[in-house]
C-alpha cells in the first residue's frame, strides 16, 4: 500500500508543465543532466544557464515531457521554468489600469519597447502622445510614467500607454479651466491648428475656435493671412457651451471697432485713396482704412463708359481714388464712387453739342427704333428711325445705315439729366418734298423700280429715293388678284402721276393710265368732277389731281394706312 501511495504521489508531481526542483548530476559538453527524482534524468542545454552549473547544484526546471519519443529521456527546460516564474510574479505585481514607471529601451515595428523593472513592456506608436507621432527614435532612452492597459496571458507581455495618462491629466485640467472661463474676458492662447474657416486656439488645456469672421474688422480670405501655427495671441471669450465643451473666441474684439468714429473719419463727399480687395460682378470693394471697406458699384465707375463687369476696369491690389457717397453705420456699409473724382462731361454737353448744330460720328449700335452714334468717347446720340429719311418710311435703321459708318446729323435735343442726345439724319439734308410738286407734276409720266410689294399695291422707287404707290386696282385693265402675280421686286415700270400730297408726303401712281386714250382720261376727269364728295376730299392743301384717276386713288386708299415697309 505504501509503495502504491508513493507511486501515485510521484505521478501527480510529474505532469507536463509543472515546475520541479532538481539536482545537477553531470555536465557533459553543452548538456546539463538534472535528476528530478524520476526513474530517468533529463537534460538541459547549457545555453539556458547564465553561468555554467556544477554537479550537485539545485536548479528549477519545467517538465515538458516525461519521455522523449526519440531518446526516452525526460524533456525539461530551465528557460521555460524561469519565464513562467517571472510571469507569475508579474501577475502578482501588476494589474490592468495601474501606473508604472519605465524607460524606453528601443524602437520596434509598430511602437517602442519599455523596460519596467525586470519586465519588458510594449508601447504602441498610437499610445505615445495625444497627437500622432511620426518619428519614434527621439523617445528612446526617455523615462516616463505609463498606464498598463492590457496584460496578455497568451503572449506573456504588458501593453502600456502614455497617451491615456496625458489625456487624463488634460481632462482634469480642461474641466478646471472650463469652469473658470468667463464671457468677454481676454486670455492668452497659442494657435494650434488652422483651417479654411478659422483657427483652433489652445488656452493652456482647452481648445477654442477663432472663426475667420472674428479675426479682423476688415476682409481676409484665409486665416493663414493673419495667423501661424504656434503663434501666441490675446483673444476674447465670446461664448461658452460647457455641456458640449465648446468655446468661441474673438481676436478683433480685443481691438477698437473702426466703425465707431467712421463719420468723423470719412464724411460724405470726402475724397480718399484705397486698395481694391475684392471684385464682384456688380462692383469693387475698396479698403480705405484697416478694417474699413466700401463698395464702388459699376454704375459709379465712369460718367460715360458702359461698364459690364468691375474686372473690366480694376484688378485686385489696384490703388484708386474714390469719393464717399454715403455711410450706413448700423449696417457697416459705405458707398463709394470713382467717377465723382472727375468732372462730369454731361454737365457741359450742351456747350459742345448745342441744339441745331451739325455733328459727325460713327454708328456704334442699332436698336429696333433707332441707331446710336458715338459723338465722343462715352457720349452717344440717338437717331430715331423717323428722323432718318425724308422720303421713305424706315422700319429698321439697318435699311439705311451700317455699323461703323461715319454720318452727319443735326442735334435735335439735349437732356443732360437723362444723359440723352437726340439726333436727326434727315435734318442734315434738304427736304426733297419742297420740289416734289414741280418735279412730279400730276399727269406726268415717270419711270421707276418696284421696291416693295404689299397686299394692297406696289411701291415704286423714283429718283431721289422718293416712293410712289400703285394701288392693286391701278396695275392693269384686267383684274389683279395678287400684286406679286403682276409685278416683281426690282422690275422697272412706267406710270403716270395721278396724285401728289405734300402734306401727307404721298405720290399716287397708275400703270393702268399708261394705256388709256385721251378720251378715256377725259371721261375719268369728267367722272371725278361730277363726284362732289370725292372732289371735295381731293382738294387738300398741297395736292394736285388728275380728275377721276385721283378720285379713284383716294377711294382705293380710304381704309388703307400708308405703310411702305409692310411688304408681302
Q: State how beta strands 292-297 and 358-366 pair.
A: unpaired
Average pLDDT taken over every residue of the chain: 83
Cα dihedral value 209, 213, 218, 222, nearest 10: 70
Contacts of 420 (CB under 8 A, 6+ apart): 382, 413, 414
* Residue 521, pLDDT score: 60
Q: How far apart are CA 251 and CA 191, in angstroms?
A: 12
Quick check: helix, strand or coil at residue 178?
helix
CB count within 10 Å of CB 132 equals: 8
Q: How far apart are CA 321 and CA 265, in angstroms?
A: 16
Q: How far apart are CA 235 and CA 187, in angstroms?
A: 6
Q: State how beta strands 119-124 and 111-116 pair.
A: antiparallel
DSSP H helices, 397-517, are: 436-439, 483-486
Lowest-pLDDT range, 12-16, 543-547, 550-554?
Answer: 543-547
* Residue 412, pLDDT score: 94
| 88-106 residue pLDDT tens | 877 888 888 889 999 999 9
* Residue 197, pLDDT score: 92
* Residue 297, pLDDT score: 94
- More confident site: 13 or 347: 347
The residue whose grid cell reads 442699332 is 366
Over range 235-252, report the average pLDDT.
Answer: 89
Q: How far apart are CA 166 and CA 117, in angstroms?
A: 22
Q: Which residue, among 519, 498, 524, 520, has the nearest Cα to 445 in the 3D structure?
A: 498
Burial of 495 (0-12, 13-18, 19+ CB in 10 A): buried
HSE-CB of 361 using CA atoms within 13 angstroms: 26
Q: Is the pLDDT of residue 422 over 90?
A: yes
Q: Is the pLDDT of residue 419 over 80?
A: yes
Cα dihedral value 275, 279, 281, 286, nearest 10: -30
Q: How far apart are CA 338 and CA 323, in angstroms?
A: 6
- More confident site: 326 or 534: 326
Q: Answer for the pair 409, 423: CB distance below 8 angstroms, yes or no.
A: yes
Over its C-alpha atoms, the chain yields an Rg (Å, rounded) of 55
Over range 346-370, report the average pLDDT.
Answer: 90
Q: Answer for the pair 497, 446: CB distance below 8 angstroms, yes or no.
A: yes
Q: Is the pLDDT of residue 78 over 50?
A: yes
Over range 358-365, report the average pLDDT.
Answer: 91
Its pTM surpasses 0.85: no
pLDDT grade, residue 85 (50/70/90)?
confident
Quick check: helix, strand or coil at residue 565?
coil
> How is residue 85 written as a grid cell?
516564474
Quick check: helix, strand or coil at residue 370?
strand
Q: Answer for the pair 209, 246: CB distance below 8 angstroms, yes or no.
A: yes
Over range 131-137, report the average pLDDT.
Answer: 88
* Residue 323, pLDDT score: 93
Quick check: helix, strand or coil at residue 351?
helix
Over range 141-161, report the average pLDDT.
Answer: 87
SS3 content of the chain, % helix, strand, coil (to 5): 25, 40, 35
Task: Provide the CA 491 distance to its chain's centre, in angstroms.
Answer: 61
Q: Answer for the pair 86, 115: CB distance below 8 angstroms, yes or no.
A: no
Over range 204-226, report the average pLDDT.
Answer: 86
Over range 293-300, report the average pLDDT.
Answer: 91
Q: Report which secondary-structure segment, H or E, holds 492.
A: strand 492-501
pLDDT grade, residue 304 (50/70/90)?
confident
Q: Is the pLDDT of residue 383 over 90?
A: yes
Q: Is the pLDDT of residue 541 over 50?
A: no
pLDDT grade, residue 258 (50/70/90)?
confident
- More confident site: 563 or 156: 156
> How is residue 384 written as a grid cell?
430715331
Domains and CATH numbers, the chain: 18-85 (2.40.50.140), 94-166 (2.40.50.140), 181-254 (2.40.50.140), 259-335 (2.40.50.140), 345-428 (2.40.50.140), 441-556 (2.40.50.140)
Amino acid at each position: 500500500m505504501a509503495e502504491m501511495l508513493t507511486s501515485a504521489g510521484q505521478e501527480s508531481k510529474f505532469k507536463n508543465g509543472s515546475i520541479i526542483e532538481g539536482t545537477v548530476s553531470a555536465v557533459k559538453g553543452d548538456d546539463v543532466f538534472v535528476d528530478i527524482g524520476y526513474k530517468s534524468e533529463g537534460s538541459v542545454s547549457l545555453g539556458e544557464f547564465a553561468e555554467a552549473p556544477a554537479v550537485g547544484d539545485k536548479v528549477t526546471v519545467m517538465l515538458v515531457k516525461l519521455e522523449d519519443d526519440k531518446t526516452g529521456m525526460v524533456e525539461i527546460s530551465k528557460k521555460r521554468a524561469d519565464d513562467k516564474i517571472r510571469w507569475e510574479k508579474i501577475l502578482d505585481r501588476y494589474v490592468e489600469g495601474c501606473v508604472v514607471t519605465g524607460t524606453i529601451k528601443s524602437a520596434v515595428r509598430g511602437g517602442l519597447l519599455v523596460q519596467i523593472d525586470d519586465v519588458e513592456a510594449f508601447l504602441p506608436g498610437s499610445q505615445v502622445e495625444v497627437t500622432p507621432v511620426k518619428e519614434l527614435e527621439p523617445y528612446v532612452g526617455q523615462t516616463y510614467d505609463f498606464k498598463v492597459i492590457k496584460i496578455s496571458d497568451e503572449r506573456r507581455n504588458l501593453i502600456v500607454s502614455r497617451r491615456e495618462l496625458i489625456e487624463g491629466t488634460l481632462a482634469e485640467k480642461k474641466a478646471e479651466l472650463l469652469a473658470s472661463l468667463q464671457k468677454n474676458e481676454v486670455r492668452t492662447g497659442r494657435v494650434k491648428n488652422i483651417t479654411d474657416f478659422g483657427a483652433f486656439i489652445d488656452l493652456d488645456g482647452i481648445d477654442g475656435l477663432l472663426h475667420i469672421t472674428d479675426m479682423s474688422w476688415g476682409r481676409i480670405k484665409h486665416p493663414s493671412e493673419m495667423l501661424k501655427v504656434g503663434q501666441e495671441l490675446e483673444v476674447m471669450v465670446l461664448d461658452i457651451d460647457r455641456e458640449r465643451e465648446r468655446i468661441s473666441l474673438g481676436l478683433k474684439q480685443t481691438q477698437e471697432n473702426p466703425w465707431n468714429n467712421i463719420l468723423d473719419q470719412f464724411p460724405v463727399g470726402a475724397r480718399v485713396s484705397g486698395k481694391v480687395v475684392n471684385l464682384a460682378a456688380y462692383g469693387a470693394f475698396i479698403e480705405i482704412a484697416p478694417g474699413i471697406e466700401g463698395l464702388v458699384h459699376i454704375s459709379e465707375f465712369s460718367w460715360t463708359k458702359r461698364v459690364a463687369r468691375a474686372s473690366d476696369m480694376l484688378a485686385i491690389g489696384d490703388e484708386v481714388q474714390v469719393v464717399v457717397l454715403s455711410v450706413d453705420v448700423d449696417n457697416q456699409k459705405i458707398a463709394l464712387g470713382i467717377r465723382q473724382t472727375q468732372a462730369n462731361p454731361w454737365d457741359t454737353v450742351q456747350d459742345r453739342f448745342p441744339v441745331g448744330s451739325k455733328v459727325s460720328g460713327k454708328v456704334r449700335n442699332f436698336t429696333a427704333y433707332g441707331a446710336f452714334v458715338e459723338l465722343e468717347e462715352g457720349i452717344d446720340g440717338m437717331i430715331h428711325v423717323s428722323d432718318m429719311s425724308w422720303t421713305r418710311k424706315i422700319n429698321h435703321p439697318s435699311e439705311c445705315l451700317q455699323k461703323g459708318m461715319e454720318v452727319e446729323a443735326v442735334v435735335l435735343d439735349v437732356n443732360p439729366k437723362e444723359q440723352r442726345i437726340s439726333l436727326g439724319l434727315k435734318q442734315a439734308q434738304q427736304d426733297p418734298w419742297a420740289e416734289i410738286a414741280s418735279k412730279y407734276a400730276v399727269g406726268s409720266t415717270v419711270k421707276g423700280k418696284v421696291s416693295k410689294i404689299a397686299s394692297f399695291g406696289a411701291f415704286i422707287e423714283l429718283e431721289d429715293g422718293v416712293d410712289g404707290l400703285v394701288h392693286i386696282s391701278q396695275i392693269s385693265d384686267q383684274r389683279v388678284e395678287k400684286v406679286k402675280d403682276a409685278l416683281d421686286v426690282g422690275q422697272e415700270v412706267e406710270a403716270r402721276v395721278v396724285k401728289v400730297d405734300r402734306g401727307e408726303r404721298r405720290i399716287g401712281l397708275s400703270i393702268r393710265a399708261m394705256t388709256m386714250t385721251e378720251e378715256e382720261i377725259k371721261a375719268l376727269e369728267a367722272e371725278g368732277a361730277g363726284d362732289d364728295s370725292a372732289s371735295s376730299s381731293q382738294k387738300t392743301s398741297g395736292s394736285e389731281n388728275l380728275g377721276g384717276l385721283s378720285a379713284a386713288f383716294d377711294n382705293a386708299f380710304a381704309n388703307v394706312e400708308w405703310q411702305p415697309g409692310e411688304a408681302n
